[in-house]
Structure 1
Amino acid sequence: MKEIMAVIRMNKINQTKKALAVQGFNSLTCVKVTGRGKKKVNYELIEKMLEGEEEIIKSKEVTESITEGHRLISKRMVISVVKDEDVKKVVETIMNVNETGNPGDGKIFVLPIEDAYRVRTGESGKAAV
């Protein structure tokens, strides 16, 4: 089993959930997170991508003078545990939905899962997933 952690844009979460469900991957956890990558943040690009959302920068001049390039950006983390043979399909699905060609499209991490337990029944391993 593998855990797939994907950090994606806020405005891509519904498309990502739908695409994963269409592929048969309904089980996931979504968490609101904030973070940043290595490069300087282009706030104008963020404003354009958040069209119609509440997170548009209110006072760009003040923000730039205090925290230019260091502000944390709101993202979503999608977490799913899948069988080893499904990793490629899940990763490709997430990448296809979230790729815009711009910095900030996200990151996907794949981690090994040693074991899993279902609390209600006590099942373990693949049966618990």
Structure 2
Amino acid sequence: MLLVRAIIRPQKTGEVLSELMAAGFPAVTKTDVFGRGKQKGIIIGDVEYDEIPKEMLLIVVNDEDKDDVVKIIMRVARTGENGNYGDGRIFIAPVIEAYTISTGRQGL
């Protein structure tokens, strides 16, 4: 199992979640986050914003589903034809074990 952690623009969240659901990946945890990437924030006039609002999606998938999930997020979360700074990042990490609390069942 793998954890796909996607940090994306808030305005793209609804569309990404819809596409994941349609592709058979309904189980997602979403949280509001703040941060900055390589661009080190943005400057608008005299104001510097170094904590940009984003949303983080956490999706645990079977190893063989990782590429499908990543492709969906990349396609839907990208702004413009070639993308733009601030579109986000995707991180992949191994998941050693997973359990359903209500049933005690192991796995997805």
Q: Please indicate, yes or no, whether the TM-score normalized by the shorter chain is above 0.5.
A: yes
**Taking structure 1 as the reference length, what is the TM-score of the superposition?**
0.76
The answer as to whether partners of 2:40 and 2:50 remain within 8 angstroms in 1 is: no
How far does the alpha carbon of each residue in 1:52-106 deviate from its partner, in whole angstroms, 9 at most, with x for none? xxxxxxxx43x2xxxx3x5200000000100100000000000000112110010
Q: Percent identity?
A: 40
- In the other structure, the counterpart of 2:77 is 98
TM-score (normalised: structure 2): 0.90
Flag the structure with higher strand content. 2
Q: Which residue of 2 aligns with 1:115?
A: 97
| Deviation (angstroms), 1:42 | 3.7
More helix by percentage: 1
Structure 1 alignment gaps of length 5 or more = 45-59
- Equivalent pairs counted in the alignment come to 105
Q: CA RMSD in A?
A: 1.4
Match of 1:11 in 2: 11
Higher relative contact order (CA 8 A, sep 6+): 1
Instruction: Determine which structure has more spread, i.e. the larger CA radius of gyration.
Output: 1
Structure 2's unaligned 5+ residue stretches are none
Q: After TM superposition, what 4+ stretches of structure 1 lie above 2 angstroms from structure 2? A: 40-44
Q: Are the aligned partners of 2:2 and 2:63 in contact in 1 as well (CA < 8 Å)?
A: yes
Question: 1:32 corresponds to which residue?
Answer: 32
Q: Which amino acid aligns with 1:75?
A: K
